């Protein structure tokens, strides 16, 4: 069957500001005692997941049974520039172009969202070019870089996205490295969706990018239940503890209420790959099995999903929302 991963990433060394890589090294250095020297970790940051040509991504997709992946470009640079530090070596315009070019290299298997910080002088030009010339199917917004989703600087970009009839995916539910979680709250996203009723707004991670036990997804479900142009992105849930034995019953309870409150037609599935080849990758393999076999997986927990609802979550919503035709791994294999 078809499966669309609506939220994954692609990385290369020069797409990160050096300060961002160092922040990762510093965080890793403090995870154990005695603390390590971040300078010893820095050269190794990201080496296991750098994949600028997407070849590793395609191998993972084939292995996991994912037909189409939507790459979320990330613009990390401005928080560092505003501190007087270096931007990414590759300009954000070129990062978008390089990643979106993979659509032509891997037809039907790869799509992409543009990302550009609204504080950049060329933000609108990058976004419009990405959609009109490079085939971007949406706009990725990352508020932890230092602005709320409803910042006035974002409003022209939302207006243009609505005019171009492409959705926006706005990160919610925490942040990484030294970025600020306070900007990730869902309430400003609710305001955006209400202000732009024709704009399709995807609430990234459904406000969960931290431990499942936090219950932070409830606020996102409440908001999406009331605001009908908001969609919920179930990305990254597999590595937050949702599938742990002590949480799995509650996970199915949450999914049941989400479907009843918001509707299967506004639920989207994703992975947040790449994650290396360790425990997180194996949890992602399980995440694929769950969504592909949703009716059977839910039944032992007294939760009912139909095959039609499964198909909406697996690929139907993505096809409708993004205007794409999702590939199947079986069809891709036959084409080789």
Contacting residues for 299 by C-beta, under 8 A, at least 6 apart: none
Gap between the Cα atoms of 144 and 179, Å rounded: 5
Cα dist from 276 to 35, 46, 51, 171, whole Å: 23, 9, 11, 22
Gap between the Cα atoms of 194 and 181, Å rounded: 23
Gap between the Cα atoms of 62 and 59, Å rounded: 5
**pLDDT in the model for residue 52:** 95
Write down the residue that tokens 């732009």 correspond to: 196
Within 10 Å of residue 336's Cβ, how many Cβ atoms?
A: 5
Question: Element (H or E) spanning 204, and its range?
Answer: strand 201-204
What does the pLDDT look like over 98-113, one tens digit per residue? 999 999 999 999 999 9
**pLDDT in the model for residue 336:** 43
Residue 234's DSSP bridge partners are 269
What does the pLDDT look like over 168-197, one tens digit per residue? 999 999 876 667 889 999 999 999 999 999
Please work out, in degrees rounded to the nearest 5, the angle formed at the alpha carbon of residue 12 by the alpha carbons of 6 and 16: 95
Q: What is the 3-state secondary structure (H, E, C) of 236-302?
A: CHHHCCCCCCCCHHHHHHHHHHHHHHCCHHHEEECCCCCECECHHHHHHHHHHHHHHCHHHHHHHHC
- Mean pLDDT, consecutive 10-residue stretches, the chain (336 aa), reads 97 94 90 93 87 97 98 96 97 98 97 98 98 98 96 98 98 80 96 98 96 97 98 97 97 98 98 92 98 98 98 98 89 52
Residue 110's DSSP bridge partners are 69
67 backbone dihedrals φ, ψ, rounded to 5°: -80, -45
Q: For residue 333, with 0-12 CB atoms within 10 Å meaning exposed, 13-18 middle and 19 or more buried, which class applies?
A: exposed
**45 neighbors 21 (Cβ within 8 angstroms):** yes
Question: Element (H or E) spanning 72, and its range?
Answer: strand 68-72
**242 neighbors 251 (Cβ within 8 angstroms):** yes
**pLDDT in the model for residue 178:** 64
**pLDDT in the model for residue 44:** 87
In this structure, what DSSP letter does residue 297 have? H
pTM of the model: 0.96
Give the closest residue to 300 by CA, choosing from 251, 263, 267.
Answer: 251
Please work out, in degrees rounded to the nearest 5, the angle formed at the alpha carbon of residue 167 by the alpha carbons of 58 and 289: 40
From first CA to last CA, the distance across the chain in angstroms is: 18
**pLDDT in the model for residue 179:** 77
- Cα radius of gyration rounded to whole Å, the chain: 19
**10 neighbors 71 (Cβ within 8 angstroms):** yes
| Fold classified for 4-335 | TIM Barrel (3.20.20)
**pLDDT in the model for residue 128:** 98
């Amino acid at each position: 069957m078809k499966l669309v991963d609506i939220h994954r990433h692609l990385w290369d060394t020069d797409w990160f500001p050096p300060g961002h890589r160092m922040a990762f090294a510093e965080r890793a250095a403090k995870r154990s005692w005695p603390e390590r020297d971040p300078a010893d970790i820095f050269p190794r940051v990201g080496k296991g997941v750098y994949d600028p040509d997407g070849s590793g991504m395609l191998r993972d997709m084939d292995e996991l049974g994912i037909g189409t992946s939507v790459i979320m470009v990330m613009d990390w640079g401005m928080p560092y520039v505003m501190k007087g530090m270096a931007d990414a070596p590759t300009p954000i315009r070129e990062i978008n172009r390089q990643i979106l070019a993979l659509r032509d290299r891997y037809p039907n298997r790869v799509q992409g969202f543009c990302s550009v910080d609204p504080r950049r002088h060329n933000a609108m030009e990058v976004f419009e070019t990405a959609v009109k010339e490079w085939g971007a199917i949406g706009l990725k917004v990352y508020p932890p870089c230092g602005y709320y989703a409803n910042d006035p600087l974002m409003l022209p970009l939302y207006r243009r996205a609505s005019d171009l009839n492409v959705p926006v995916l706005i990160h919610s539910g925490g942040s990484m490295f030294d970025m600020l979680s306070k900007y990730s709250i869902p309430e400003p996203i609710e305001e955006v969706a209400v202000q732009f009723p024709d704009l399709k707004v995807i609430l990234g991670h459904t406000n969960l990018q931290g431990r499942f036990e936090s219950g932070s997804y409830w606020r996102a479900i409440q908001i999406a239940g009331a605001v009908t142009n908001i969609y919920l992105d179930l990305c990254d849930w597999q590595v937050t503890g949702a599938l742990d034995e002590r949480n799995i019953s509650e996970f199915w309870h949450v999914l049941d209420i989400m479907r009843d409150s918001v509707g299967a037609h506004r639920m989207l599935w994703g992975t947040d790959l790449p994650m290396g080849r360790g425990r997180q990758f194996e949890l992602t393999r399980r995440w694929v099995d769950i969504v592909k076999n949703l009716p059977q997986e839910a039944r032992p927990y007294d939760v009912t999903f139909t095959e039609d609802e499964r198909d909406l979550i697996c690929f139907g919503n993505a096809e409708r929302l993004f205007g794409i035709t999702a590939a199947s791994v079986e069809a891709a294999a036959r084409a080789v």
